[in-house]
């Protein structure tokens, strides 16, 4: 199944319009929407790097596609998923199934039953 419920991204994996307010005006180096403050990149929570004593010494963040709920590189939730800009996949899948079943039920209607 293709999940096309995300947001359109440019070649740098930055949204082409803000996923929250729809603003399309960004400076070339902008990282947050100037209208509502929403991140323009779908960044994951970050992958921890540990020292030999078990302490977190650094964290690496990854850019993700506009429909990514989890990072493909580290498996951590993405910012758009945490901000609830993206719904859980099972909710989206259920919606697709419902829409598909409604479309198929329209095929069962006899043309003689139509009012025109």
pLDDT in tens, 54-110: 999 999 999 999 999 999 999 999 999 999 999 998 888 888 788 777 666 655 555
Structure tokens at 106: 């329209």
Residue with tokens 């960004």: 26
Structure tokens at 66: 């506009």
Model pTM score? 0.77
pLDDT in tens, 3-50: 678 999 999 999 999 999 999 999 999 999 999 999 999 999 999 999
Q: Which of 51, 46, 55 is nearest to 75 (CA)?
A: 46
Domain map (residue ranges) of the chain:
1-107
Do 5 and 86 meet the contact criterion of CB atoms below 8 Å apart?
yes
pLDDT in tens, 39-50: 999 999 999 999
């Amino acid at each position: 199944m293709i999940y096309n419920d995300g947001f359109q991204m440019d070649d740098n994996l930055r949204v082409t319009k803000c996923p929250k307010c729809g603003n399309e005006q960004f400076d070339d180096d902008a990282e947050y929407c100037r209208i509502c403050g929403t991140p323009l990149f779908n960044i994951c929570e970050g992958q921890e790097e540990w020292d030999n004593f078990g302490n977190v010494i650094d964290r690496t963040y990854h850019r993700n596609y506009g429909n990514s709920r989890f990072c493909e590189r580290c498996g951590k939730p993405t910012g758009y998923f945490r901000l609830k800009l993206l719904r859980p996949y099972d909710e989206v899948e259920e919606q697709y199934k419902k829409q598909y079943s409604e479309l198929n039920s329209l095929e069962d209607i006899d043309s003689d039953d139509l009012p025109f």
